[in-house]
Structure formats: structure tokens, C-alpha cells
Structure 1
Amino acid sequence: MTAEAIRVIGSDTTGNTVLEVEIYGSTHVLDWPRGKKLLDVLLDAGIDAPYVCRESACATCMCSVQSGRTRMLMNESLIDSEVAEGFTLACQTLPESDRVQIFFDA
């Protein structure tokens, strides 16, 4: 599979984070509401993001936070060193800053 890049480029007037999603050669710009999980935002937009369980158990949706802050609601599959290196699970990740850069390497 190809590497998939997701880059958050700012926030809109509603307080949402604005996602610029580059995946499979296409770029999409999306609103990322502060209370909505990253995977749900991608799937709702029709973007074929990797996932299986949606419950933090499989790590299929693992991605890397390159900059900015996010929060993982639950983690049952990543080890401490992976989290320390910036990995997160898209199915459990919420934005916590106006600008976040995330990469999927699927």
C-alpha cells in the first residue's frame, strides 16, 4: 500500500480543526470537530482509511503524530515506547490543538 499523509492546516471559525488529507494521490480538506475521532472523520468523508476493530484492540489504524497535540481516549494495543514516539490510534484520537500533522504508513 502507499503511504498516506494527513496534515491539519488550521482551525475554522467553529473551533474545528481543519484537516488536509492526502491519500492515494488525492487531497481532501475536512473539518475535524474537537469531539470526533479521527477515523470517524475520515470514514464519514468517504476516505478509505485503514481500520478493523474501532476499539483500540488491533492497531490497524495506527498512525504517527508528527506535530501538534492529540489525545487517545483508549489504548489497548500500543506499547509505551510507541506512544512516546508519537504513535496513536485513529479510532481513538481527538484533536487538542489547532494544528496537527499525522501520517499513516499503511
Structure 2
Amino acid sequence: MKPVKENKIILLALVLLPALFYGCEQKIRLDDRKAAEVYVSVLIINEKYGAESDSSKAYKKELFKKYDIDEKQFDDYLNSLKEDKEKWERFFDLSEEYLNRLKAEDNIN
């Protein structure tokens, strides 16, 4: 009888583990529109304060907090685009759209 019980435990683990990993992956996934907004915002911060200044680092930290991500997640997202030209193009289209919206709202020059 023990082998049957052990098989049930193994089967249960095989069912639950992928669900757990899938749930974790979805939780940290960064959608394209959100990533484009972060990207444009980072570029604006770098332009305004300098990429390596203390002010730049502080504003980026606030930005990532606002979007509920961290810099590594953002970098991982950008790296994931490298393999797919269509994804890059869609990402930059979304970035340009967001930048134009900021200009129209007179939030940037």
C-alpha cells in the first residue's frame, strides 16, 4: 500500500508545482505598455538628471516603485525583446505613443 500513497504524493506535487511556478511568473510579468512607459520615463530621467547622478537614481527608484517592479525585472523584460524584431517594433511603437501623449499633455518639452 505504501507505493500507491507515495505515487499520489508525487502526482500531487507534479500538478501543484507547475501551477506555483506559473503563478509566480505571471505575478512578475511586465506588460508591453507598462514597460514602454517605464522606458520613456527612464530616458526622460536620464536626460534631465544624468544617468548616474544621485537624483537620477532616486527618481528611477520612485518610478520602479510606482509601477510595482524592480530594475532587474525591467532589464529582464528588455533582454527578452532582443530575440524578436516584431516585439521590439511593437515596444518602440508603444514607447513613441506614450512619449507623444506626454508631449500633447504638455508634461515634457
TM superposition score normalised by structure 1: 0.26
Higher strand share: 1
